[in-house]
């Protein structure tokens, strides 16, 4: 009897141990699940090249995430408050004042004050990386919570500038700030291994809405690596391109986000023999209005979207399609026969039977350059070349470095990428004062009516004035805008990335601009 009692006790003990072990495993699984629920891993194909310093251009096209901005833009591109609680401008739009909230602190515990804003903007202007500060004459702190800006010329778009420059701490700024930034935004950077990863943690002292996720790790990978990581189940979000978008990834879905990340051809509008910034400038073919008009009429933009982008994009007719200041009249209906008529009426004919038009001694031929190594731009450029053969225009396509492009962009056509949630980009691309300024107005485009209308729009800030300023451009066509490239991501099932704004021209961390909205669906 004793023997059987002993055996029964041993069995009971074993079952108890097994039960405890299962309970421990369940607890561990629950703990792991909880960790997973408030931590994310992303695979991104680009990172901030120069680090995380807004005074040197970081996040100039989107949300800085780590730092606060005076103002912000919502998902519909409307201006909203952020660090500032109110602002006012003088009647002549030369003087701007911003009142700061008093509950904002940097992640080292120090309050955000007006002197930090002054320091940020002065430092940014000295760095020369923020073009919208060209006309900033002075910035000063009126008190701890009031900042005053004085501009050299009226600029209604200064609200967009205020929504794009993250504020850095005067007391903690140094030469190493780009790699170890301190800010007052919804997240803080705790580690950055350049070329490998960046780790962000939620800023629990942030004055605004707190993010659902305590920790977000961004892994910087090639497209191939990001796709492999997604298939292996190692990441929650993976940036990708149309080359992988039709692939199936278990437990993930493909998300496509609307953009103004456009690709367009910049045409030089002045004849040969000119000079810009001491460089050879001018093109006898693209400076002919009939050539530019015919190209815009003949191009099958939808075919470029379907074939070059595998359908993951939209046709583009300006640098700001579907933004509040977009002029819908920029849309051009394809008409190949009309394109041929425009060329013939302007004196372009194929007199020697080589299927390339000429006008006098000038052949309808031009060079089209794209950035070498960019397969998407190469594919688009080749599609343009093939399509223009139909109307007798010959195009030589070639890739080059940015140094090469800078040497040729005032004489050859260039396939550029633009797109910003700021109407000021229209001003920089088309106003004649920007000829030779950075990569803006490389066309050498000059139209007094456009200049006057853009100046008026800059003063008024009225969206109808911005649209009116683009009306003459519809005739002059210094650009052939082609496509807006969709931004594509594999996203884990059940994960919501919130209401994404229209994405600007592709830059690192764009997808994270509304990170505080991300959550797991219930």
**Mind listing the pLDDT tens digit for each residue in 263-303?**
999 999 999 999 999 999 999 999 999 999 999 999 999 99
Q: How many CB atoms lie within 10 A of CB 173?
A: 17
C-alpha count within 13 angstroms, C-beta hemisphere, residue 228:
7
Q: What is the dihedral of CA 157, 159, 160, 162, to 10 degrees?
A: 130
36 confidence band (pLDDT: 50, 70, 90): low
257 confidence band (pLDDT: 50, 70, 90): very high
CA distance 445 to 447: 7
365-371: strand order across its sheet: 313-315, 479-485, 262-266, 413-418, 365-371, 394-400
404 confidence band (pLDDT: 50, 70, 90): very high
pLDDT surpassing 60 at residue 3: no
CA distance 317 to 314: 10
Cβ within 8 Å of residue 27, ≥6 positions away: none
Mean per-residue pLDDT, 243-260:
95
CA of 348: how far to CAs of 119, 344, 362, 520, in Å?
A: 57, 5, 9, 61
In DSSP terms, 119 is beta-bridged to: none
CA distance 418 to 269: 19
pLDDT tens digits, 174-211: 999 999 999 999 999 999 999 999 999 999 999 999 99
pLDDT tens digits, 408-437: 999 999 999 999 999 999 999 999 999 999
Using DSSP bridges, classify how beta strands 365-371 and 394-400 pair: parallel, antiparallel or unpaired: parallel
Residue 75 phi/psi, 5-degree rounding, is -65, -20
Mean per-residue pLDDT, 103-123:
98
pLDDT tens digits, 63-99: 899 999 999 998 888 899 999 999 999 988 899 999 9
Measured in Å, how far apart are the chain's first and last C-alpha atoms? Answer: 57
Percentage with pLDDT > 70 across the chain: 93
Q: What is the dihedral of CA 246, 248, 254, 260, to 10 degrees?
A: -30
Residue 111 is predicted with a pLDDT of 98
Ranges 54-58, 199-203, 313-317, 394-398: which has the least confidence: 54-58
pLDDT surpassing 50 at residue 144: yes
Using DSSP bridges, classify how beta strands 237-240 and 39-44 pair: parallel, antiparallel or unpaired: parallel
For the chain, what is the mean pLDDT? 92
131 confidence band (pLDDT: 50, 70, 90): confident
Q: What is the DSSP string of 68-85?
A: --SEEE-TTS-EEESSEE
Against a cut of 0.75, is the pTM above it? Answer: yes
């Amino acid at each position: 009897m004793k023997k059987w009692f002993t055996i029964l006790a041993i069995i009971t003990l074993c079952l108890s141990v097994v039960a405890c072990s299962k309970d421990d495993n369940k607890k561990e699984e629950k703990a792991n699940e909880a960790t997973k629920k408030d931590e994310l891993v992303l695979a991104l194909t680009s990172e901030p090249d120069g680090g995380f310093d807004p005074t040197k251009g970081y996040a100039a096209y989107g949300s800085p995430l780590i730092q606060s901005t005076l103002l912000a833009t919502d998902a519909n591109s409307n201006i909203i408050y952020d660090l500032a609680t109110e602002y006012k401008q003088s009647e002549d739009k030369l003087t701007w004042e911003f009142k700061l909230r008093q509950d904002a602190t940097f992640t080292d515990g120090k309050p955000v004050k007006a002197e930090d804003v002054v320091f940020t903007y002065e430092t940014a202007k000295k760095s020369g990386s923020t073009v919208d500060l060209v006309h900033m004459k002075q910035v000063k702190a009126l008190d701890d919570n009031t900042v005053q800006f004085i501009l050299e010329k009226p600029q209604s778009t200064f609200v967009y500038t205020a929504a794009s420059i993250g504020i850095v701490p005067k007391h903690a700024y140094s030469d190493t700030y780009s790699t170890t930034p301190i800010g007052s935004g919804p997240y803080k950077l705790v580690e950055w291994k350049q070329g490998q990863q960046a780790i962000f943690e939620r800023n629990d002292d942030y004055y605004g809405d707190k993010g659902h996720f305590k920790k977000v790790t961004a892994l910087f990978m090639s497209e191939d690596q990001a796709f492999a990581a997604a298939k292996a189940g190692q990441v929650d979000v993976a940036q990708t391109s149309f080359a992988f978008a039709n692939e199936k990834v278990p437990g993930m879905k493909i998300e496509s986000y609307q953009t103004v990340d456009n690709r367009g051809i910049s045409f030089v509008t002045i004849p040969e023999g000119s000079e810009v910034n001491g460089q050879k400038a001018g093109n006898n073919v693209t400076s002919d209005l009939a050539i530019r008009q015919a190209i815009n009429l003949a191009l099958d933009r939808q075919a470029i979207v379907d074939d070059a982008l595998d359908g993951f994009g939209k046709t583009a007719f300006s640098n700001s399609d579907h933004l509040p200041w977009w002029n819908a009249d920029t849309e051009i209906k394809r008409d190949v026969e009309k394109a041929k008529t425009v060329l013939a009426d302007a004196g372009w004919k194929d007199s020697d039977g080589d299927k390339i038009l000429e006008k006098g001694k000038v052949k309808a031929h031009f060079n089209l350059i794209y950035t070498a190594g960019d397969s998407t731009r190469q594919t688009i450029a080749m599609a343009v070349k093939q399509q223009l053969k139909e109307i007798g225009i010959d195009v030589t396509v070639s890739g080059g470095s940015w140094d090469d492009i800078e040497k040729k962009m005032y004489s050859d056509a260039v396939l550029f990428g633009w797109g910003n949630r700021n109407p000021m980009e229209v001003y920089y691309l088309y106003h004649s004062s920007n000829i030779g300024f950075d990569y803006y107005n490389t066309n050498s485009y000059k139209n007094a009516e456009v200049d006057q209308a853009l100046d008026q729009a800059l003063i008024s800030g009225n969206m109808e004035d911005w649209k009116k300023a683009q009306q003459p451009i519809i005739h002059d066509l210094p650009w052939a805008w082609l496509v807006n490239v969709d931004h594509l991501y594999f996203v884990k099932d059940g994960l919501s990335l919130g209401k994404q704004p229209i994405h600007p021209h592709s830059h690192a961390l764009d997808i994270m601009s509304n990170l505080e909205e991300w959550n797991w669906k219930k």
